[in-house]
Amino acid sequence: MPLNRAHVVKVDRRAVIDKRGFTASERQLLVACLILICIVAIVGRLGYLQLFRHSEYLARAARQQQRTIEITPKRGSIYDRNRDPLAMSIPVDSVFAVPIEIGDAQLAAQLLSRVLGIPGDVLEAKLGSAQSFVWIARKVPPDRKEAVEALNLKGIYFQKENQRIYPKRDLAAHVLGFVDLDEKGLGGIEYGLDGQIRGKSEKIVVMADARQRWFDGVEAQRERGADVVLTLDEQIQYIAERELAVAITKTHALAGSVVVMNPNNGEILALANWPKFNPNTANEASAEARMNRAVTALYEPGSTFKLITLAAAFDQGIVRPEEVFDCENGAVYVAGHRIRDHKPFGLLTVSGILAQSSDVGAIKIALRLGAPKFYDYIRAFGFGQLTGVDLPGESKGLVRRLENWSAVSIGSISMGQEVGVTPVQLVTAVSSIANGGLLYQPHVVAELLRENKALPADSLRALAEPRRVIRPETAATLRRLMEGAVLNGTGKLAHLDGWTAAGKTGSAQKIDPATGRYSHTQLIASFTGFAPINNPAVTILVSLDSPVGPHEGGQVAAPVFKRIAEQVLPYLDVPRDIPIEPRLIQVAYKEANASNLAALSDFTPTDFTALPDLSPAESSGIKARSAKSQAAVTVAVDEGGDVPVPDFSGKTVREVTETCLKLGLDPFLVGSGLARSQVPAAGIKVRRGAKLTVQFGAPAAKIAKPKRKRRH
């Protein structure tokens, strides 16, 4: 039977409905429900993640996208008493890598090795590691930083850090100390006050984008450490170090120390040691060179200890300066032991015993005093215990307890044997004689500053109150006797031109390690004294270890005292107290120009007129070396290059140093204050690494008449 069109269409529509089971409206409703379910699931999941898993995923994202790097903190500067910088920190660049960004670690390591001088296998191991951050080179010079930049390596970045520099190089190195790569103090003031100078740590956040490309973030924390003002005077420190260096050269001594102290308050104005080192390259120096001998090295003081023997006797009133002792032609028996004098003396007054440094006379005075009283005075003067000086590594010396003294000990100790002292201990004790009998705590730190404001007194270790060790009358008597030792005794070469001076020589035999006995050739030659007598401004100790040739304290140490005192006293504007002929004036700092005393960054003596004890041959040799050094500087700076020399006129030492290091130049800083002249002149182009000599100085009026220092 044939079907019509309407019937066919009706049958087809009904077939579709039967096959799918849904109408069009039903299908739409189903899709809407599915969409709603998905939305609810997504929102629920998001809500769950935001409300319950937020902290976890945030931490995971932070670990993937950022790294916090702790870098060296900004250390405070260290200044001398006149606020001239001795140590400061400047920003430098360090190189780090993100290994995941480096495609060919071997090639990158080879390229970096040529520029940085680091073995290629070391760099390849770092660049091929699974870490997300590795240091490549810390605190690189500007020229190397530019060379690394020129390589344009993917995954290699730079980060600013702080680097400690000492613009005066080895000046006061043993007081300042040094730091390690992470700016942690390892010696001297840098170590002793590391907590205050170092400040809080600095952290840098390094970020990564979605493709793990790294870029610098922001600093999370920054607080600079406190600045330190020392009691040292840069000029006096230079004088002490220069004269010690000259003495070492002349005597061929193994080592030596010089301490200059204000006897009226315990301030150390200069502390010099030999051997020396440059704290900018401290890792290249030996442990012996870095040792602060003035506070750590023990030695038998020898005849300088007779001052303590006589101080105790005078203070107890058992002897008088005019009293005569029989020195028995240079020999005395103590507990059956024969002790010989360095010279045979007969009858000597107490004044003569000190002036001629008679061992027999000192022993007889000590025997009259008695061991218990003698021991009490030794301890009262601070021997056998720490002085409290604010420098690390101080030794307390060696003084055996009274019950451990042998029968002969009182004789040995009275002339400076069987007892070990440090230079700081001895100069502190002599200062108490100079100031009238008060023992002050020696110190090198004057104050701490932050943003040029003094920190509270409790930021520093409190100084002990001075304590009286002898009566003023005793101190006055000893000063008069010590003057006699300089005028008529073993210390004649310490006589000053224009000022009264008092002092005592020492020549202590060292123990020969091979025999265990006192050596007849190896000695510690020393001299300690002060000037002027009636109003002492400085106490100076000079110690030379094992001088060759003339080796007694009066021969080799006393002249060093003289040269130092005759430069320091006019610099401090201390009035002369005795007449002087003009032809005898060797050094007058009030009339000297800056170049006579300002080469603080170089130890080659340039003021040849201030070295009267040099032979013509020695003077010629020093001048030749100095001329050769200057010629080398001239050659270095005259060669052509592409770095124009800036104009440093009126700039500070810090500004000149930072500018030179940024340009890759080697500054040769002369003096202190503001820049006055330079070689080469501004505008001349030089090569990177060239040396620039910059002369610093105060205004002309200040040079003509130095500012008068306050004396307590």
Strands 438-439 and 347-349: unpaired
What is the pLDDT at residue 496?
93
Tokens of 379: 């301890």
- pLDDT single digits (tens) 508-561: 888 877 777 877 778 999 999 999 998 999 999 999 999 998 889 999 999 999
Per-residue pLDDT band at 612 (split at 50, 70, 90) = very low
Res 696: pLDDT: 78
| Closest by Cα among 526, 584, 530, 521 to 558 | 526
* Whether residue 289 has pLDDT greater than 50: yes
Percentage of residues in the chain having pLDDT higher than 70 = 80
| pLDDT, mean of residues 57-72 | 63
Mean pLDDT of 155-172: 89
Between the alpha carbon of residue 596 and those of residues 108, 244, 345, 620, 693, the distances in Å are: 52, 17, 45, 18, 16
Task: Please give the pLDDT value at position 699.
Answer: 54
Q: Which pair of tokens denotes residue 481? A: 């006797």
Average pLDDT taken over every residue of the chain:
81
For the chain, what is the radius of gyration of the CA atoms? 37
Topology annotation, domain 616-704:
Trypsin Inhibitor V; Chain A (3.30.10)
677 close to 695: Cβ distance less than 8 angstroms: yes
Residue 46 has a pLDDT of 83
Q: Is the pLDDT of residue 408 over 60?
A: yes
Lowest mean pLDDT segment, chosen from 103-107, 371-375, 529-533: 103-107
At residue 164, the 3 state secondary structure works out as strand
Q: In angstroms, rounded to a whole number, what is the distance separating the alpha carbons of residues 504 and 489?
A: 9
Residues 4-33 have pLDDT tens digits of 544 444 444 444 454 556 677 878 888 888
Cα dist from 64 to 58, 69, 202, 214, whole Å: 10, 14, 21, 11
DSSP 299: B
**Cβ pair 343, 330 in contact under 8 A:** yes
Query: Is the pLDDT confidence value at 600 over 80?
Result: no
Which amino acid appears at position 153 of this protein?
A: L
pLDDT digits (tens, 9 = 90+) for 324-366: 999 888 888 888 888 888 888 899 999 999 999 999 999 999 9
Under a CB-based contact definition with an 8 Å cutoff, are residues 295 and 352 in contact?
Answer: no
**Which residue blocks in 647-699 are alpha helix, DSSP H?**
653-663
Burial of 152 (0-12, 13-18, 19+ CB in 10 A): exposed
Each residue's pLDDT tens digit, 449-462: 988 888 887 667 78
Residue 611: is its pLDDT beyond 50? no
Predicted local confidence at residue 124, as pLDDT? 85
pTM, whole model, 2 decimals?
0.74
Q: Which residue has the higher pLDDT, 162 or 589?
A: 162
At the topology level of CATH, where does 68-173+199-226 sit?
Answer: Penicillin-binding protein 2a (Domain 2) (3.90.1310)
CA-CA distance, 651 to 671, in Å (whole number)?
Answer: 13
CATH architecture entry for 234-589? 3-Layer(aba) Sandwich (3.40)
Query: Rounded mean pLDDT of 392-407?
Result: 94
Q: What is the 3-state secondary structure (H, E, C) of 378-446?
A: HHHCCCCCCCCCCCCCCCCCECCCHHHCCCCHHHHHHCCCCCEECHHHHHHHHHHHHCCCEECCCECEE
Give the pLDDT confidence score for residue 589 in this predicted structure: 38
Query: Which residues sit opposite 644 in a β-bridge?
Result: 685
Longest Cα pair distance anywhere in the chain, in angstroms? 169
pLDDT above 90 as % of the chain: 46
Is residue 394 within 8 Å of 295, Cβ to Cβ?
yes
**pLDDT at residue 148 greater than cutoff 80:** yes
For residue 615, name the pLDDT band (cuts at 50, 70, 90): very low
Cβ burial of 573 (10 Å; 0-12, 13-18, 19+) is middle
